[in-house]
């Protein structure tokens, strides 16, 4: 097997590393302090064509393959989990619109997303429907003119509320499938639609600058051409998006693990106790060695899943495996990083503490650890 990156991929990763150093690192410090969307860094990122990285070139994007995209996610995530997740949500929703949209919808919606002028959101989760996504209660009722009326509540919806947040893909029940399961349809809802509203930002332990809100839909009237994809056909598209999202979360975990490893090694070489650096103590060395070994294993799993996705192979199980293992290991690595930093790691204004807080959500987002275990057990032949 060939593990080498292409020259183009190597150049792309170097570009992202330089951008992360010059633009994202200062933005991360500001987000952690002010909890504001990083508009200047986002504008600079968009100027490089990266807002539209996964959008087809015909609609103003860069048309990156998924492996190249995920390598960028990993590199960026070593500097800022928050900025990376803003970009990842933007990219996944853009891909969903490209997947489900008609040529007219693609032409109308994708250029603004490719240019970074708007950032969309993905509204599936509800107060009573998280891991059980098929349990959503938001309804869309067909109107005499062929349009729709939506009612319901969504929660934990990210990339909402900034000045450029616009264009939420809302999933709603539009009927019933044979066997009693709901038929779920997707709709594109602009921010200024009457009856559509955001709640205040929900307070989070990390990912400050990436706002998470509750969305309310009260008799929201939509035209027929705001329906994305076939009626009742959105759930399978959402699952396709989640597969790439799970590999993306694994890439986030790899970036976080690398940041923890490098930060901990630097600190251990500088921190003196009993007349020598704590890196000289075998128990500290054991933690650092585990970080290095686990990070390497995480990257191999993630890159394999990304390669499967980029080459069009079946990768649902590989995506779940990568997400399951990397999120667990990232949480363990972040805990060891905080312990190596001792008292300073317990202070909320230190990078080690931020990385520890950020690691906790990796076992929740894009399907919890338990959901990944269920998926893998079914792939192994266990009964539902």
Q: Reduce the DSSP state of residue 138 to 3 states and report it.
A: coil
Instruction: Locate 324 and state its tokens.
Output: 């399951």
Instruction: Locate 251 and state its tokens.
Output: 């890439």
Cβ atoms of 97 and 169 closer than 8 Å: yes
Of 375, 81, 91, 86, nearest to 254 (Cα)?
81
Q: Determine the pLDDT at residue 132.
A: 85
β-strand partners of 123: 170
List pLDDT tens digits, range 56-81: 999 999 999 999 999 999 999 999 99
Contacts of the segment 240-243: beta carbons below 8 A, 24+ positions apart: 240/99, 241/92, 241/93, 241/95, 241/96, 241/99, 241/122, 242/366, 242/367, 243/309, 243/315, 243/316, 243/319
* Inter-helix orientation angle 282-310/66-77, to 10°: 150
Of 45, 119, 122, 29, nearest to 80 (Cα)?
29
Question: Phi and psi (nearest 5°) for 30?
Answer: -70, -40
Helix-, strand-, coil-residue percentages of the chain, each rounded to 5: 55, 15, 30
Round to whole Å and give the CA distance between 130 and 240.
Answer: 17
Q: Determine the pLDDT at residue 1.
A: 67
Round to whole Å and give the CA distance between 294 and 275.
Answer: 30
- ∠ Cα 130 173 312 (to 5°): 70
Q: Which residues contact 229 (CB under 8 A, 6 or more apart)?
A: 99, 100, 101, 185, 186, 237
Q: Determine the pLDDT at residue 384.
A: 85
List pLDDT tens digits, range 131-162: 888 889 999 999 999 999 999 999 999 999 99
Round to whole Å and give the CA distance between 347 and 339.
Answer: 12
Q: Is 266 exposed, middle or buried (0-12, 13-18, 19+ CB in 10 A)?
A: exposed
Q: Determine the pLDDT at residue 239.
A: 85
User: Measuring CA to CA, how many Å separate 330 from each of 58, 68, 212?
Assistant: 38, 22, 22
Of 235, 225, 234, nearest to 148 (Cα)?
225
Q: β-strand 148-158 against 212-222: which pairing, if any?
A: antiparallel
Cβ atoms of 243 and 305 closer than 8 Å: no
* Structural domains of the chain, with CATH: 7-114 (1.10.540.10), 119-231 (2.40.110.10), 236-379 (1.20.140.10)
Mean pLDDT of the chain: 96
Round to whole Å and give the CA distance between 247 and 95.
Answer: 15
* Inter-helix orientation angle 351-361/81-100, to 10°: 30
Q: Which residues are catalytic?
A: 366
Of 226, 191, 72, 60, nearest to 121 (Cα)?
191
Q: Determine the pLDDT at residue 133.
A: 80
Radius of gyration of the chain (CA): 21
What are the pLDDT tens digits along the chain (384 aa)?
A: 678 999 999 999 999 999 999 999 999 999 999 999 999 999 999 999 999 999 999 999 999 999 999 999 999 999 999 999 999 999 999 999 999 999 999 999 999 999 999 999 999 999 998 888 888 999 999 999 999 999 999 999 999 999 999 999 999 999 998 887 899 999 999 999 999 999 999 999 999 999 999 999 999 999 999 999 999 999 888 888 899 999 999 999 999 999 999 999 999 999 999 999 999 999 999 999 999 999 999 999 999 999 999 999 999 999 999 999 999 999 999 999 999 999 999 999 999 999 999 999 999 999 999 999 999 999 999 998
């Amino acid at each position: 097997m060939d593990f080498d990156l292409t020259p183009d991929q190597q150049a792309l990763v170097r570009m992202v590393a330089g951008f992360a150093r010059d633009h994202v690192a200062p933005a991360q410090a500001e987000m952690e302090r002010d909890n504001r969307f990083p508009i200047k860094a986002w504008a600079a990122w968009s100027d490089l064509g990266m807002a539209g990285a996964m959008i087809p070139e015909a609609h103003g994007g860069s048309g990156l393959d998924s492996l190249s995209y995920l390598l960028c996610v990993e590199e960026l995530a070593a500097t800022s989990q928050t900025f990376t997740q803003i970009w990842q949500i933007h990219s996944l929703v853009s891909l969903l619109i490209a997947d489900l949209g008609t040529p007219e919808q693609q032409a109308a919606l994708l250029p603004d997303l490719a240019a970074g002028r708007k950032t969309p959101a993905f509204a599936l989760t509800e107060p009573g429907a998280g891991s059980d996504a098929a349990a959503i209660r938001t309804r869309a009722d067909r109107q005499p003119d062929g349009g729709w009326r939506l009612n319901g509540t969504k929660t934990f919806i990210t990339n909402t509320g900034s000045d450029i947040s616009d264009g939420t893909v809302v999933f709603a029940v539009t009927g019933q499938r044979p066997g009693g399961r709901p038929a779920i349809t997707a709709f594109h809802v602009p921010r200024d639609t009457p009856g559509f509203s955001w709640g205040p930002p929900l307070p989070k332990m990390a990912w400050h600058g990436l706002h998470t809100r509750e969305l309310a839909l009260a008799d929201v009237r939509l035209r027929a051409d705001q329906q994305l994809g076939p009626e009742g056909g959105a759930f399978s598209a959402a699952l396709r998006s989640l597969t790439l999202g799970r590999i993306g979360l694994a890439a986030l975990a790899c970036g976080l693990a690398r940041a923890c490893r490098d930060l901990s090694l630097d600190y251990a070489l500088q921190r003196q106790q009993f007349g020598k650096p704590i890196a000289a103590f075998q128990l500290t060395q054991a933690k650092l060695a585990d970080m290095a070994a686990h990070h390497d294993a995480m990257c191999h799993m993630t890159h394999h899943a990304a390669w499967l996705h980029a080459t069009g192979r079946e990768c649902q199980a590989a995506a779940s495996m990568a997400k399951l293992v990397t999120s667990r290991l990232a949480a363990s690595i972040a805990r060891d990083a905080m312990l190596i930093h001792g008292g300073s790691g317990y202070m909320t204004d230190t990078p080690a503490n931020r990385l520890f807080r950020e690691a906790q959500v990796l076992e929740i987002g894009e399907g919890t650890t338990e959901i990944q275990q269920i998926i893998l057990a079914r792939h192994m032949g266990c009964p539902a």
